[in-house]
Amino acid sequence: MKKLILSSVLLLSAPLAVAESQQATMLKASAAAGAASANVDRSDASQVVTEAGQSAIKYLSDGALSESEAQDLLGFLDVERVAKFTLGRYGRTLDEADITRFTAAFEKYASHQFQTHLADFKGADLKVIETINRKPDDAVVKTEIKTATGEIQAVNWRLMKNDSQWNVVDVEALGFWFAIEQRAQFTAVLDKTGGDVDALIAKISAKK
C-alpha cells in the first residue's frame, strides 16, 4: 500500500494571530521553498527529477511537509497538463472556465496528498538510473528510491518538454502510473454524474 501511495503523492495557513518572530520565520521558509522549483535548470529531464527528489528530501528533514513546501514540489509538475489529462475525454468537451476551476481544485488535492503522505518517506534517497528519450519532447527518467529502512523501490518519471522546459507529467511505481490511474477514477465519477465537473471537484476537495 505504501508503494502505491508513493506513486500517487510523488505526482500529486498558519493562524493570523502569531508573534512577529514566528511570521518572519515563516516568510523566510516560504521564500526558501519557492526557490527550489523556480530556479531549477529545466533543460535536462534527469536534472529536473534529481532536483525534485533532493528538494523533497530536504523539506522532509523535520518529518513534515509545510503547505509552501508542498506547493514548491508541485512546481516541478506541469499541473495544467496533468489535470486536463486526468479528465480524459471530458477534457476535450468542458469549457475553459470548468477546466480552470477543476485545475485549481486538482492542485489543492495534490498538495494535500503531498502533505499527508510524503512524511512517510523521511530519510529516503533518490538515485537516477537512466533516461529514456521516447521523443524529442517526451522522456522517462528511471530512478531508485531507498527508504530510511533500506527498502529500494523502482520509480519511473515521465516528463514532457514545452518551450525547452521539462516538467513531470506522471510517476510510476509498482506498475501503476499515477495520472493514468487518476484519469480512470475521475472519468468514472464524471460518467456516473453525466459529466458534472462540480461533482468531481466536490469529491476530490473532500478527500483527506
Tell me the C-alpha distance between 23 and 48, whole Å: 31
Kindly indicate the confidence band of residue 208, based on its pLDDT and cuts at 50, 70 and 90.
Answer: low
The whole-number average pLDDT for the span 170-177 is 90
Residues in the chain, overall count? 208
Phi then psi for residue 144, to 5 deg, are -125, 135
pLDDT value of position 36? 62
Query: What pLDDT does 115 receive?
Result: 87
* Whole-angstrom distance, CA of residue 153 vs CA of residue 95: 40
Cell numbers for 88, please give them.
480524459
Q: How far is CA 22 from the centre of its chain?
A: 28
Is residue 13 over pLDDT 50?
no
Closest CA to 103 of 123, 127, 135, 77: 77
Q: What is the pLDDT of residues 62-82, one digit of tens each?
A: 888 899 999 999 999 999 999
- The pLDDT of residue 173 is 87
Q: In the structure grid, which three cell numbers stand for residue 151, read together?
A: 527498502
Per-residue pLDDT, 27: 37
Q: Identify the residue whose cell numbers are 512577529.
A: 20
AA letter at 138 = D
Q: What is the pLDDT of residue 11?
A: 53
pTM of the model: 0.79
As assigned by CATH, the class of the 2-206 domain is alpha beta
Residue 142: predicted pLDDT: 97
Domain ranges of the chain: 2-206
For 95-150, what is each residue's pLDDT tens digit?
A: 999 999 999 999 999 999 888 878 777 888 999 999 999 999 999 999 999 988 89
